[in-house]
Amino acid sequence: MAGLPLAAAVAASVEKLSATSLAGTLVTLSSVLMLLAAFACLGSKLFSRYVVYYAFQSVVLAFACGVVAFHFHSADLWALAFITLAVKGIAIPLATGGLLLERLELRRDVALSTGLSTSLIIGALLTGFAFLVIPLQDLPHGVVATSAVALSTALVLLGGLCMVVRRHIVAQLIGWLITENGVFLGAIALVATFPFIVEAGIFLDLVAAVLIMIVFVSGITRRLAEATASELRELRG
Amino acid sequence: MVLPSGVVQALQVVVVLVFAPFVSGAISQVEARFEGRRGPRVLQPYYDLAKLFRKETLVPEGASWVFLVAPIVAFTSYLTVPLLIPVLTDFPLPLGYTGDILGGGLILALAGFSVALAAAETGDPYAQLGSSRAMTFGALIEPSVLFVVFTVALITTTDLPYAMAAVDRSSLAQVLRPAHVFAAAAFFLVVLSDTGRIPVETHASTLEFGMIDEARAFEHSGPALALLKWGTAIKQLVLYVILVDVFATPWGLAGSPQIGSVLLAIPILLGKALVAGTIFALIDNTFSKLRLYKITEFMASAFALSAVAVLVLYLGGG
């Protein structure tokens, strides 16, 4: 019961979603849809599909955030929901689609280190692992949408898996973005009323990272005509 | 007026029998509209069947009686399944408990087996190639089906389709619980594969390279071919019914054997089947067919989802 003191402390200090309420059900459903989008990403080989699935996942995340905001009447969370929709749901997919995929003519991703079947099965095992390491019965009873916590952990792991099995930098960027979505989901599922400034800061990081990524990948591709991580290793001195 | 349960039971089979070609025709019409074509008439499958029933049956040299019996066995098997699943009513009918989901799967497999046997009788390379592929991929999709059944069993402690639908209806949270959504998504992929839809097979083409199910009927003609085609349409509608009435939207079924509510359930069922069919047609138009040796990746994704459903239930998060 190592999780108890922390969970109890969290339960005492902040407001939470009940697992059985409508809001809790909707947040859980959103987490499941987000996980399905991550699986779709993992099982796809087209760059344009990665971006579409990420955009779908982000829109669902914005919906989940809106549900929590509605439940707690929190202006901060409403703001976050709209920023999520605008930045992750629209701006980042458009930027990666237009500035990276079209300009670099990226279509089919061939730089995979395992077959799709293998990575999908590993993804299923990682999801099971997430449920194994987050003992749901140790979470404060009835105060959080418990499955959402484990599902968001699974999302973090799946994003990591995306980065591991894909060698192309743009595909790894998508994996990283999925991981970030997972972290955000875990945050709103566990602690609905966390400081706005933290999340806003993360958004700034995210935008900066995507911009830097676009600039760098464009530059690298112009030099090397290739942007897979295995090629980059040869740049070491 | 209250209908005897035997009549309702028979009506389930008749509805599937009569409306299966209509659903097929409507879906190909929707598909054509997505592609900007006018498409065939919605009733075209009925005209096709009528034409085929008027033609003579030709039997390849050396083929035995198995070749002629197989289409009838397959057709009968497909018509047996509607006895076991909630087509029109949400309460179980007398024969509803004679078989569970595995029983229904067994009957569908029997149909596939008899068609494959008939294909082997012909000595035609294409028909045999089709049945060999159908058997291979059928075996590969089977683990996902089993895991979906396990999920149903873990949720309801039975594996009866009626029980699953009843659990779904009990509250919205039951339909939206993670394990159920994962299992439903996996079953969606299974239906996609079993109805010969695009990531697995181009259902309307006659190109041998990608043919699986369609190739099996190559040597059949006349009424036998009509039975096979009708059977395919029935199998498609049966799978749609299981998808919408057991997993996705088990509402709108008749709650009592009143004639009005049973009759009302028919258009509702067709509407739901057409919505499902429209989604399948949309997928047909947005995705490309996988190469034959890449189909295993599709099967792996269905298996991963169904395995996640079982894992999630076992670890307490379902």
* Separation CA B122–CA B132 (nearest Å): 13
Q: What is the pLDDT of residues A127-142, one digit of tens each?
A: 999 988 887 766 665 4
- Residue at A30 is within a domain: yes
Domain count within chain A: 1
User: For residue A20, how many other CB atoms are within 10 A of its CB?
Assistant: 12
Nearest to A43 among B173, B297, B312 (CB): B297
Range of the domain at A68: 15-235
Of B173, B307, B316, the CB nearest to A124: B307
Between CA A211 and CA A219 the distance in angstroms is: 12
- The distance of A39 to chain B (nearest Cα, Å) reads 8
Q: Is A115 inside any structural domain?
A: yes
In this structure, is residue A4 part of a structural domain? no
Region A53-62 average pLDDT: 95
Q: Name the residue in chain A with its Cα closest to that of B185.
A: A36
Q: Minimum mean pLDDT among A17-31, A217-231, B1-15: which range?
A: A217-231
Is residue A2 exposed (0-12), middle (13-18) or buried (19+ Cβ within 10 Å)?
exposed
Q: The tokens 């049945």 sit on which residue?
A: B131
State the count of interchain CB pairs (< 8 A) between A and B: 80
3-state secondary structure of B42: coil
Residue B131 identity (one-letter amino acid) = S
Q: Is A74 domain-assigned?
A: yes
Q: In angstroms, rounded to a whole number, what is the distance separating the alpha carbons of residues B59 and B49?
A: 19
Cα distance between residue B316 and residue B196, in whole Å: 35
Measure in Å the smallest separation between the Cα of B173 and chain A Cα atoms: 6
pLDDT at B226 over 80: yes
Nearest CA to CA, how far is B151 from chain A (Å)?
Answer: 14
Alpha carbon dihedral A121, A126, A129, A133, in 10-degree steps, equals -170
Mean pLDDT, range B158-174, rounded to an integer:
85
Measured between CB atoms, which of A20, A115, A123 is closest to B304?
A123
**Comparing C-alpha atoms, which of A209, A131, A105, A123 is closest to residue A166?**
A123
Gap between the Cα atoms of A39 and A53, Å rounded? 9
- Binning pLDDT at 50, 70 and 90, where does residue A12 land? very low
* Within a domain: A8: no
Residue B9 · residue B98 · CB < 8 Å: no
Structure tokens at A163: 């980065």
Does residue A190 have a pLDDT over 80? no
* B142-163 per-position pLDDT tens digit: 999 999 999 988 888 888 888 8
Q: Tell me the backbone φ, ψ of residue A219, rounded to 5 degrees.
A: -65, -45
| Best A34, A120, A136 residue to mutate vs chain B (most B CBs within 10 Å) | A120
Local structure of B2: helix, strand or coil: strand
Query: What is the rounded average pLDDT for all residues in chain B?
Result: 88
The percentage of chain A sitting over the pLDDT mark of 90, rounded to a whole number, equals 29
DSSP, residue by residue, chain A: -TTHHHHHHHHHHS----TTSHHHHHHHHHHHHHHHHHHHHHT--BHHHHHHHHHHHHHHHHHHHHHHHHHHT-HHHHHHHHHIIIIIIIIHHHHIIIIIIITTT--B---BSS-HHHHHHHHHHHHHHHHHHS-GGGSPTTTS-HHHHHHHHHHHHHHHHHHHHB-BHHHHHHHHHHHHHHHHHHHHHH-TT--HHHHHHHHHHHHHHHHHHHHHHHHHHHHHS--BHHHHGGG--
Rounded percentage of chain B residues whose pLDDT exceeds 90? 44
Q: What is the pLDDT of residue A14?
A: 47
- Asked if B312's CB is within 8 angstroms of A127's CB, the reply is yes
Domain ranges of chain B: 5-139+204-289
Phi, psi of B143 (to 5 degrees): -55, -40
Asked if A121 lies within 8 A of B300 by C-beta distance, the reply is yes
Among A33, A39, A117, the residue with its CB nearest the CB of B297 is A117
Residue B208 pLDDT level (bands cut at 50, 70, 90): low
Are residues A203 and A110 in contact, defined by beta-carbon separation less than 8 angstroms?
Answer: no
The B-side interface with A (CB below 8 A) comprises 172-173, 176-178, 181-182, 185, 296-297, 299-301, 303-305, 307-308, 311-312, 315-318
Shortest alpha-carbon distance between residue B278 and chain A (Å):
20
Instruction: Please list, in sequence order, all residues whose beta carbon lies within 8 angstroms of the beta carbon of residue A142, skipping any fewer than 6 positions away.
Output: A18, A19, A20
Q: For chain B, how far is it from start to end, CA to CA, in angstroms?
A: 42
Write the DSSP string, A117-180: HHHHHHHHHHHHHHHHHS-GGGSPTTTS-HHHHHHHHHHHHHHHHHHHHB-BHHHHHHHHHHHH
Residue B157, phi then psi, degrees to nearest 5: 60, 10
Residue A13 confidence (pLDDT): 43
Cβ-defined contact of A131 to B317 (cutoff 8 Å): yes
CA distance B244 to chain A (A): 18
| Residues in chain A closer than 8 A to B172 (CB atoms) | 22, 25
User: How many C-beta atoms lie closer than 10 Å to residue A89's C-beta?
Assistant: 22
For residue A168, the cross-strand partners are: A228
ipTM: 0.84
Q: Which residue of B has its CA nearest to A131?
A: B315
Contact state of A43 with B317 under an 8 Å Cβ cutoff: no
Per the listing, tokens 């089709």 go with B130
